[in-house]
Every structure is written in C-alpha cells, then in structure tokens.
C-alpha cells in the first residue's frame, strides 16, 4: 500500500512537472509569437519606409527629369528665337544691301543718261555748225552758178551786140567810103573807135558785175543747202535724242519696278519670318504649357502616391498596434 501511495505521489508529481513544463513551453511560445510579431512589424515598417523613401526619391527624380526637360525646352526656345532673329537680321541686311545695289545701278543709269545726253548734245551742236557751214558752201555754189549764167548770157549778148555793131560799122565804113571823103571816114572811124572802146570797157564792167552776182548766187546756194541739211540733221538728232530720252525713261521705269519688287519681296520675307517667329513663340508657349501640365500631373501623382503610401503605412502601423494588443 505504501508503494501504491508512493507510485501515486510520483504520478502526481510527474503531472505537476509536466504541467509546469507545459506552462513554461506555453509562456515561451507566447513570447516567441510576440517577438515574431514585433519583428514582423519592424520588417513591415522598414519595408514601407523603404517604399516611401523610394517613392520620395522617385518623385524627386521625376521632378528633376521634368525640370531638365522644361529647362531644355526653355533653352531650345531661346535658341530658336535667336536663330530666327539672326535670319530676320540677315534678311534685313540683305534687303539693305539689295536696295543699295539697285540705288547704285539707278544712279549709274542716271549718270550714263546724262553723259549720253551731253554726248548727243555735243554731236547735235557739231552737226548744227557743220550744217551751217555746208549751207553756206552750197549757197556760195548756187550764187556762183547764178552769176555764171548771168555772165554767160551777158557774154553772148555782148558778142551779139558786137557782131551787130560790127555789121553796122562795116556797112557805115563801106557807105562812108562810097558816100564821103577820106576825112569823113577818119572822123567816123574815130567815132566808132571811141564807141568800141566804150563798149569794150562797158562789157568788162558788166562782166565784173555779173561775176560778182554769180559769186554771190553761188554762196547763197551753198548757204541754203547747208541750212536745209542742218534742218535734216537737227531732225535726225532730235529723233535720236527723243529715243535716248524715252530709253532712259524706260530704263528708269525698269529699275524702279525691280526696286519695288525687291522692296515688296523684303516685306514678304519679313512677314514670312515674322509668322515663323510668331509660330515658334506660340509653339514654345504650347510646349511650356504641355510641360507645365505634365509637371503638375507628376506633382499631383507624387502627392497621390505619397498619400497612398502614407495610408498604407498608417494602416500597417494600426495593424501592428492591433496585433500587439
């Protein structure tokens, strides 16, 4: 019976021991679970912290990237504006150069016309004097011809008169011989001799007079011819001068048209470059607006992500607290 009691006591002691051991194991298990939960919470917190940090750095990186893009776009716009400004300046200077070139051409044409006019004026003056000289020469020839005709007529008239007087003289001589005595004949002869001498001197005087008239007529003919030639020459040079004047007007009009065309071309080019510049300016504004929108969206996305991660982090924190409790 004592042995039975001992066995019973040992069994009770064993049960107590087992219960003690079991209680110890239960306490350790609970401690391990608590430790595991604590470490799990730390791990979760660290994980969310890493995610939050990554998101924060991602946002910073995105912001930096958009800032770089925005800066690049800004510098690109400045570069484009400078490029169009250079093109516009070049076009402006090109126009000035073209205008100066056309002005020089126009001035040269003007001076060429003045020189041509002066040259034609000199030719015209020379021709005028030449014509006067020719007219005088032809007038002299005409006067000489007229006086020569008169002189020939006078010469033939004198010959005829002389022949007539000679016949009369012959008849008188024979009549005197037959009718009168020797003295009467001498007297008649002396008288006819005087008449003949007078007639001879008269003929010489007439011839000289007609010769002068002929010379005058010859010079008058030369002068008339020269006058008509001058009129013809003047008309010819007047036509040439008119043609030159109209040619100059046509050239001036042509250069004026070229100059006007160049001016309108410049205006058109300027307008074209202005339009390009305006388009570039509006394109830049549009690009800026687009990048601003992207940047705003990214900013709001980052805020949203941060809020999301903050919510997750808060939920995890409360979950841990709840688990711990």
Q: In this predicted model, what pLDDT tens digit does every residue of 39-56 receive, in sequence order?
A: 777 777 777 777 777 778
Give the C-alpha separation, 189 to 317, whole Å. Answer: 186
Q: Give the whole-angstrom CA distance, residue 15 versus residue 183.
A: 235
Q: Which domain does 138 fall in, by range?
A: 2-324
* Mean pLDDT within 106-114: 83
Range name among 31-35, 120-124, 155-159, 293-297 with the lowest pLDDT average: 31-35
Q: Are 211 and 146 in contact (CB under 8 A)?
A: no
Tokens 């039975």 correspond to what residue? 4
Examine the pLDDT at 22 and tell me if it is beyond 70.
Answer: yes
Whether the Cβ atoms of residue 267 and residue 168 lie closer than 8 Å to each other: no
What is the per-residue DSSP string for 200-255?
A: HHHHHHHHHHHHHHHHHHHHHHHHHHHHHHHHHHHHHHHHHHHHHHHHHHHHHHHH
Higher pLDDT, 19 or 216: 216
Give me the percent of the chain exceeding a pLDDT of 70: 91
181 confidence band (pLDDT: 50, 70, 90): low
State the pLDDT confidence band at 106, using cuts at 50, 70 and 90.
confident
Q: Given the structure tokens 């979950």, which residue do they identify?
A: 319
- Residue 228, pLDDT score: 82
pLDDT category of residue 31 using cuts at 50, 70 and 90:
low
- Who contacts 49 (Cβ-Cβ below 8 Å, separation ≥6)? 313
pLDDT classification of 324: cutoffs 50, 70, 90: low
Please list, in sequence order, all residues whose beta carbon lies within 8 angstroms of the beta carbon of residue 287, skipping any fewer than 6 positions away.
73, 77
- pLDDT in the model for residue 325: 65
1 has a pLDDT exceeding 70: no
In the predicted model, is pLDDT for residue 153 greater than 70?
A: yes
- Residue 274 φ then ψ, to 5°: -65, -45
Question: The tokens 């000679």 sit on which residue?
Answer: 166
pLDDT digits (tens, 9 = 90+) for 258-310: 888 888 888 888 888 788 888 878 888 888 778 788 878 778 787 877 778 77
What's residue 176's pLDDT?
Answer: 67
**Over residues 181-208, mean pLDDT:** 80
The residue-averaged pLDDT of 223-239 equals 85
Q: What is the mean pLDDT of the chain?
A: 80
Q: What does the pLDDT read at residue 151?
A: 81
**DSSP string computed for 5-27:** HHHHHHHHHHHHHHHHHHHHHHH
pLDDT of residue 302: 78
Which whole number is the average pLDDT over 95-106?
Answer: 83
CA dihedral 62, 66, 71, 77 (to 10 degrees): 160
pLDDT of 316 over the 70 cut? no
Give Cα 283 to chain centroid, integer Å.
31
Q: How confident is the model at residue 217 (pLDDT cuts 50, 70, 90)?
A: confident
Evaluate the CA torsion angle 207, 209, 210, 211 in order and state its sign.
Answer: positive
**Residues with Cβ within 8 Å of residue 98, at least 6 apart in sequence:** 262, 266
Task: Give the total number of structural domains in the chain.
Answer: 1
Higher pLDDT, 288 or 322: 288
Angle between helices 2-179 and 182-324 (to 10 degrees): 180
């Amino acid at each position: 019976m004592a042995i039975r009691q001992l066995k019973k006591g040992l069994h009770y002691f064993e049960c107590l021991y087992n219960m003690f051991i079991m209680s110890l194991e239960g306490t350790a298990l609970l401690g391990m679970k608590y430790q595991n939960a604590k470490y799990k919470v730390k791990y979760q917190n660290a994980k969310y912290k890493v995610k939050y940090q990554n998101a924060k750095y991602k946002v910073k990186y995105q912001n930096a990237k958009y800032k770089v893009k925005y800066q690049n776009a800004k510098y690109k716009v400045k570069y484009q504006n400078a490029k169009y400004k250079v093109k516009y300046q070049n076009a402006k200077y090109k126009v000035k150069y073209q205008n100066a070139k056309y002005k020089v051409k126009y001035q040269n044409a003007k001076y060429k016309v003045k020189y041509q006019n002066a040259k034609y004026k000199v030719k015209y003056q020379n021709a005028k004097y030449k014509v006067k000289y020719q007219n005088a020469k032809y007038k002299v020839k005409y006067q000489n011809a007229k006086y020569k005709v008169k002189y020939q007529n006078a010469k033939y008239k004198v010959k005829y008169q002389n022949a007539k007087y000679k016949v009369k003289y012959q008849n008188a001589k024979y009549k005197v011989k037959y009718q009168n005595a020797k003295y009467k004949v001498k007297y008649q002869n002396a008288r006819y001799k005087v008449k003949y001498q007078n007639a001879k001197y008269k003929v010489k005087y007439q011839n000289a007079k007609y010769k002068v008239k002929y010379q005058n007529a010859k010079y008058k003919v030369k002068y008339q011819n020269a006058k008509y030639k001058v009129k013809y020459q003047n008309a010819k040079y007047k036509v040439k001068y008119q043609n030159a004047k109209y040619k100059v007007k046509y050239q001036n009009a042509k250069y004026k048209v070229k100059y006007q065309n160049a001016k309108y071309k410049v205006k058109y080019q300027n307008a074209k470059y202005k339009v390009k510049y305006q388009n570039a300016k509006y394109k830049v504004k549009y690009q800026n607006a687009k990048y601003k929108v992207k940047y705003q969206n990214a900013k709001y996305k980052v805020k949203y992500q941060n809020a999301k991660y903050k919510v997750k982090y808060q939920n995890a924190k409360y979950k841990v607290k709840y688990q711990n409790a």
